[in-house]
Amino acid sequence: MSEAPSRQTIRACGACSLCCKLLPIAALDKPHDRWCLHCRPGNGGCTIYETRPQTCRDFACSWLAEPAVGEHWYPLKSKMVVQITGGHDDKYDIFIDVHVDKGAPDAWRAEPYYSELQRMSAAHRTLVRVFFGSRTWIMLPDQEIEVKRA
């Protein structure tokens, strides 16, 4: 069973370790979309929990930390890790990043997720981005736009 991060949370990870697969961890030289070598999903979680990098200590997916993120967003159920952060530039105050597991490519397009992502994108100065492998979409209230990378 994974333990919650050091950041204040309202829920517990339980058997979920999906962030250890979907998110990159520079301190461990771990790329996105690959299981961390120190993770035992569903079988105890992090094997270096006491000495894990600060990045891991500080991380809490938004399902763990945000009361407004519904139970259906539990990463093991939704197959997505949601990360809500403060804006990183002058244009947006809030970034909502949705990291989708490669085993469930259309999870973000299923309901109720898609409608919720559209609704979130309508909020003032909020940018909603969906990441799936090397692909990225920007959500708008009435459509999604795939961002082409160079």
Give the type of residue at 5: P
The reply to whether the predicted model has a pTM over 0.85 is yes
Reading the chain (150 residues) residue by residue, the pLDDT tens digits are 344 455 578 899 889 999 999 999 999 999 999 999 999 988 888 999 999 999 999 999 999 999 989 999 999 999 999 999 886 678 889 999 999 999 999 999 999 999 999 999 999 899 999 999 999 999 999 999 999 876
Measured CA to CA, the distance from residue 33 to residue 134 in angstroms comes to 10
20 Cβ contact list (under 8 Å, min separation 6): 35, 36, 38, 39, 41, 45, 46
Measured CA to CA, the distance from residue 135 to residue 65 in angstroms comes to 26
3-state secondary structure of 14: strand
Using one digit for the tens of pLDDT, what is the confidence trace for 105-144? Answer: 999 999 999 999 999 999 989 999 999 999 999 999 999 9
Measured CA to CA, the distance from residue 41 to residue 9 in angstroms comes to 20
Handedness of CA 123, 62, 100, 56 (dihedral sign): positive
Measured CA to CA, the distance from residue 97 to residue 45 in angstroms comes to 23
Measured CA to CA, the distance from residue 122 to residue 107 in angstroms comes to 20
With residue 19 as reference, give the H or E element that holds it: helix 19-22
Measured CA to CA, the distance from residue 94 to residue 71 in angstroms comes to 21
What are the structural domain ranges in the chain?
A: 19-145
